[in-house]
Structure 1
Amino acid sequence: MSEARTEEQRAALIEAGRLLFARPCEFFYASQRIDQLPPVTGPELAFCGRSNVGKSSLVNALTGRKALARVSHTPGRTKQLNFFDLGGRLTLVDMPGYGYAQASKSVKADWQGLMFDFLRGRPTLRRVLLLLDARIETKAGDLAAMELLNDAAVAFQIVLTKADDAKPYWLRKRQEEAEALARKHTAGHPLVIATSSETGLGIPELRAEIAALAAPG
């Protein structure tokens, strides 16, 4: 949320986010191919990031559901687009992870192709949350994902995950780096939010950002 907003405005946005994610959220569709996608209906928000960056954990933290999205300790397990209906106001899309070192080249190519085709072909896709691990440096795959999103003309917002496990000085460095990377892309959102699915850090703020993208309800 912008620093220019007043405390009253920020409080109202936080409450809107809380109310949105208090609604039921249910998995309703999975697709491994672009021709298997569900029909376009209301606004969509997608989660994108490296394998094991914590996408599923973040979805669970946002919705307050411990097992809504499957959390795997084996990188590369999510190989499909998973769709979740958030109270009829927003569809959350958990995208396949990228950058898993032990995945074959053909599998990596399939994942990238599926992501790009999805991004270009969903007119109701409001934004992609690009997740970066707060504990480690930005990888080549992360930079490639930013270029892919930029080329697809899809707005993206960087979200740092696992911030509870990063030293304060390192987290500040990662935040500044992420903000600089966002500014280099016309599709990049200027606000970077640091989160922790374990402690709840940044979850209310991220919910507030997402609530602004949802259909009226």
Structure 2
Amino acid sequence: MDEAELLEAGRLLFARGTRFVHAAQTVEGLLDATGIEIALAGRSNVGKSTLINALTGQVALARVAQAPGRTRQLNFFQVGEGRLSIVDMPGYGYAEAPKAVKRDWQGLMFRYLRGRPNLRRVLLLMDARIEDKPADHAVMGILDKAAVAFQIVLTKSDKMKPEALARKLDTIKAIARKHPAALNDVIVTSSETGAGIAELRATIAALVA
């Protein structure tokens, strides 16, 4: 499909409605691996819930926590008839130390990443306004080790001036090139203005096709 067709496929995919279906706190509590799963990861307060709401066009589908870092489970959202599920992974808090991230993610998160045959991609969200942190690099290392393809998505781009955003994008692309599991294509989004949302839907639609 060409770009216009992918954009339309993305629009149609998420026009079918999305609903919350399951939350898992253990591997045993995971749903059966059916359909395609796309997981969202990122630091707490990076805007994962807001981005899910923007993607699905539903204002309150994913609850935006008042206290960042409270989610400690995998939340599954089924898109349309069930060919696709969006999985909201726990934010990795304000931890600056890679060891803290590895400690928090070495259980359920890593076992999910390694053992989920229908997990097609992880979207790693990073705040466009904030410098990359050791915790971000630790998660990238975990994704490399798990051999799960991931793509960086910049959020809150509307808070940046164009020149600063362009520099940030160059920096993030350079970081992605250092990780074997990372895709070089970085998607820039704003849930506030809608920038990049259609492109992100199209990217997801291409994985479902």
**TM-score, scaled to structure 1:** 0.90
Kept in 2: contact 1:79–1:111 (CA 8 A): no
Kept in 2: contact 1:21–1:207 (CA 8 A): yes
CA distance in 2, matches of 1:106, 1:194: 28
Kept in 2: contact 1:53–1:161 (CA 8 A): yes
1:113 and 2:107 aligned: yes
Name the SS of the counterpart of 1:35 in structure 2: helix
Kept in 2: contact 1:52–1:73 (CA 8 A): no
Match of 2:16 in 1: 23
Q: CA 1:207 to 1:106, structure 2 compared with 1: closer, same or farther past 3 Å?
A: closer
Residue 90 of structure 1 is aligned with which of 60, 63, 84?
A: 84
CA distance in 2, matches of 1:99, 1:28: 24
Match of 1:212 in 2: 206
CA distance in 2, matches of 1:74, 1:173: 31
1:166 and 2:160 aligned: yes
Q: CA 1:186 to 1:110, structure 2 compared with 1: closer, same or farther past 3 Å?
A: closer
Name the SS of the counterpart of 1:213 in structure 2: helix
Q: Which runs of 5+ in 1 are unaligned?
A: 1-7
1:128 and 2:128 aligned: no
Identity %: 64
CA distance in 1, matches of 2:91, 2:122: 13
Match of 2:179 in 1: 185
What is the Cα deviation at residue 152 of structure 1? Answer: 0.3
Whichever residue aligns with residue 91 of structure 1, its letter is S
Q: Which runs of 5+ in 2 are unaligned?
A: none
What is the Cα deviation at residue 79 of structure 1? Answer: 1.2
RMSD over aligned Cα, in angstroms? 1.8
What is the Cα deviation at residue 113 of structure 1? Answer: 2.4
Match of 1:4 in 2: none
